[in-house]
């Protein structure tokens, strides 16, 4: 993992919707309490670097060690990194965000994430699953949904069996085990320069 200090400072933080100039962009969601050993952090940072190298902006909640690693990777690769933190939360957003758009609540945060053409989620868990499902539903299931990590197969197997009445709705969903496979699934959709 690259050790450097953030170069972008956001003061004063702006609020509001995402600018049209942000495209192309993807939402990146991550489980805040996912084990963050060196391998997990390197995977997250590599994802940020790969997205930035393709000219794809990273938009996230702005919180947690995995989001910080994704943000760091994207920022160090010269990419745009937008955080959508919730004002009432006590946590500090990642220092690697190049742009902050303060959200009034989690509902609005997920609604904004759902406006993007793709969602990439790292680390299965109740929070990341809820955020991904809600944002994907807002997107009308048209967005690409890429779930990074083999653990997703266990989590979603039962849920898909009982909660998805029409399997065609899963056509835009991919579970990938390697971060390098994320870009291929994004490019298969509508994301990219």
pTM here is 0.81
Predicted pLDDT at 193: 41
Share of the chain above pLDDT 70, in %: 78
pLDDT at position 146 is: 86
Q: Is the pLDDT of residue 170 over 70?
A: no
- Mean pLDDT, rounded, for 44-70: 94
The topology under which CATH files domain 27-188 is Rossmann fold (3.40.50)
Q: Is the pLDDT of residue 55 over 50?
A: yes
Domain boundaries, the chain: 27-188
In percent, how much of the chain has pLDDT > 90? Answer: 32
Question: What is the average pLDDT score of the chain?
Answer: 80
The CA distances from residue 153 to 86, 106, 123, 176, in Å, are: 30, 26, 11, 9
CA distance 123 to 125: 6
Instruction: State residue 176's pLDDT score.
Output: 83
Which pLDDT value is given to residue 191? 54
Comparing CA positions, the residue from 39, 97, 42 lying closest to residue 69 is 42
Please report the pLDDT score of residue 141 as a whole number. 64
Sign of the dihedral defined by the CA atoms of residues 5, 6, 10, 15, in that order: negative
pLDDT at 192: 45
Q: In this predicted model, what pLDDT tens digit does every residue of 69-104 receive, in sequence order?
A: 999 999 999 999 999 999 888 888 999 999 999 999
């Amino acid at each position: 993992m690259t050790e450097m200090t953030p170069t972008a400072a956001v003061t004063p933080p702006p609020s509001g919707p995402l600018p049209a100039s942000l495209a192309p962009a993807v939402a990146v969601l991550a489980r805040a309490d996912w084990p963050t050993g060196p391998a997990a952090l390197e995977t997250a940072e590599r994802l940020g670097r790969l997205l930035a190298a393709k000219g794809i902006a990273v938009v996230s909640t702005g919180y947690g060690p995995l989001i910080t690693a994704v943000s760091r990777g994207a920022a160090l690769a010269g990419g745009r990194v937008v955080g959508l933190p919730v004002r009432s939360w006590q946590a500090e957003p990642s220092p690697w965000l190049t742009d902050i758009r303060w959200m009034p609540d989690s509902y609005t945060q997920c609604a904004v994430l759902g406006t993007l053409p793709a969602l990439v989620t790292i680390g299965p868990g109740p929070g990341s699953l809820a955020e991904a499902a809600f944002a994907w539903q807002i997107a009308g299931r048209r967005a690409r949904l890429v779930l990074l990590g083999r653990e997703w197969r266990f989590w979603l197997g039962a849920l898909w069996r009982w909660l998805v009445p029409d399997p065609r709705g899963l056509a835009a969903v991919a579970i990938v085990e390697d971060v390098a496979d994320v870009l291929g699934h994004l490019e298969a959709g509508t994301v990219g320069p």
